[in-house]
Amino acid sequence: MVRTSRRALVMAMVLVVLGGLGWSPPGQAARQAAPLAHAPGSWTAGPNLGTKRTEVAAAVLDNVLYVVGQYPGGSGQPGTNEAFDPRDGRWTTRAPLPADLNHACAAAIGGRLYVAGGYLGTGPGAAALFAYDPGADAWTTRAPMPTPRGALTCVVLDDRLYAIGGEGPGGDTGVVEVYDPATDAWDASLPPMPTARNHIAGAVLDGRIHVVGGRAARRGALMQTHEVYDPATRSWSEAPPLPTGRSGMMATVYRGRMHVLGGERGPATFAEHEAFDHASGTWATMAPLPTPRHGLGVVTLNDAIYVAAGGPQPGATVSDALEIFSLP
């Protein structure tokens, strides 16, 4: 009996250590966040998308959620563009992207939706930039990024689009390029992000750009890295690390904190939902995603977080889920 108990204890310790390295028992494709009775917030299920997709780009324009693009193998057509209007609770199909992009990024500026970079099908990183006019339901081609790349992050600051990091023909990059819609031109003079990486998440918090997580060297080390760009000093600094290292997650700012949701690591997807408070420099654990997934779209809309599509298992799996998080 004593020998059996010791063996069980040793095996349990091994599983804990391997779990910390990203290993999961065979058949465990989704890694649920540990249930915490005190984890704040609650989730509700919204209407499913019209298509099942992963590696999408998402943004809010005029209080409408747009989910654009997909990895090959989804149920949508190349460049699928669906819009959800919470006022009527319906998804509608809009004009598709002019290119078959996935792993792109999206943001809204001045009444237009911009989609930058990504991979062309299963091919290399793209430099493309497209702008969508919801009134005309039409796309136009804008000046391409100086550095082609996919699995990047985009944020908007002072009505300009910052395209950061990702993976291009030369591998992982920390490049930062800024697009001005008023001049249809890019500025490539900014200092690069210190840690070159792809499959990252970014958000603007208190006038600074926060970039978290990711991976490097083609599915190599997964990162808790959290780096912050200050436009006033044109410099980068380190910040408290993301508690759960992962890639393929997304971030949004909700009620003054940066929320990071989902992601993948090795054979597992993540339900983890962690929020960073810039004022205190601390992370908090929030109510986990009901459906763990990576390559998802995450936005803030109408005082709630909307999480759309994404892969429930690592790789080219797809989902049509829409789940909505809110705080009291």
Query: Which CATH number characterizes residue 302's domain?
Result: 2.120.10.80
In a domain, 196, yes or no: yes
Q: Pull the structure tokens for residue 282.
A: 């601390």
pTM metric for this prediction: 0.89
Annotate 173-207 with b (16+ C-beta within 10 A) or e (fewer).
bbbbbbbebeeeebeeebebbebbbbbbbbbbbee
In a domain, 54, yes or no: yes
Confidence of residue 200 (pLDDT cuts 50, 70, 90): very high
| Cα(98)–Cα(79) distance, integer angstroms | 7
In a domain, 274, yes or no: yes
Which of 26-40, 242-256, 306-320 has the weakest average pLDDT? 26-40
In a domain, 230, yes or no: yes
pLDDT of residue 39: 79
User: Residue 173: which residues within 8 A CB-CB, separation 6 or more?
Assistant: 147, 149, 165, 166, 167, 192, 196
Radius of gyration of the chain (CA): 19
Three-state secondary structure call for residue 168 = strand
Contact 92, 141 (CB under 8 A): no
In a domain, 11, yes or no: no
Convert the pLDDT of each residue in 35-89 to its tens digit: 444 579 999 999 999 999 999 999 999 999 999 999 999 999 999 999 999 999 9
List 261's β-bridge partners, or say none: 250, 273
Number of domains in the chain: 1
Contact 212, 198 (CB under 8 A): no
Convert the pLDDT of each residue in 130-157 to its tens digit: 999 999 999 999 999 999 999 999 999 9
Confidence of residue 219 (pLDDT cuts 50, 70, 90): low
Count of residues in the chain: 328
Closest to 291 (Cα-Cα) out of 243, 324, 328, 253: 324
Q: Which helix (DSSP H) or strand (DSSP E) does residue 253 occupy?
A: strand 250-254
**Whole-angstrom distance between the N-terminal and C-terminal Cα of the chain?**
50
Q: Pull the structure tokens for residue 311.
A: 């892969």
| Cα(286)–Cα(274) distance, integer angstroms | 6
Inform me whether the pLDDT recorded for 279 exceeds 60.
Answer: yes
Per the rule left: phi > 0, alpha: psi between -120 and 50, beta: everything else, 5 is alpha
Confidence of residue 221 (pLDDT cuts 50, 70, 90): confident
In a domain, 16, yes or no: no
| Cα(116)–Cα(103) distance, integer angstroms | 9
Q: Which helix (DSSP H) or strand (DSSP E) does residue 91 occupy?
A: strand 90-94
In a domain, 104, yes or no: yes
Convert the pLDDT of each residue in 301-328 to its tens digit: 999 999 999 999 999 999 999 999 999 9
Evaluate the CA torsion angle 271, 272, 278, 280 in order and state its sign. Answer: positive
Contact 74, 43 (CB under 8 A): no
Contact 221, 211 (CB under 8 A): no
Inform me whether the pLDDT recorded for 196 exceeds 80.
Answer: yes
pLDDT of residue 124: 85
In a domain, 95, yes or no: yes
Inform me whether the pLDDT recorded for 19 exceeds 50.
Answer: no
Q: Domain range for residue 140?
A: 41-326
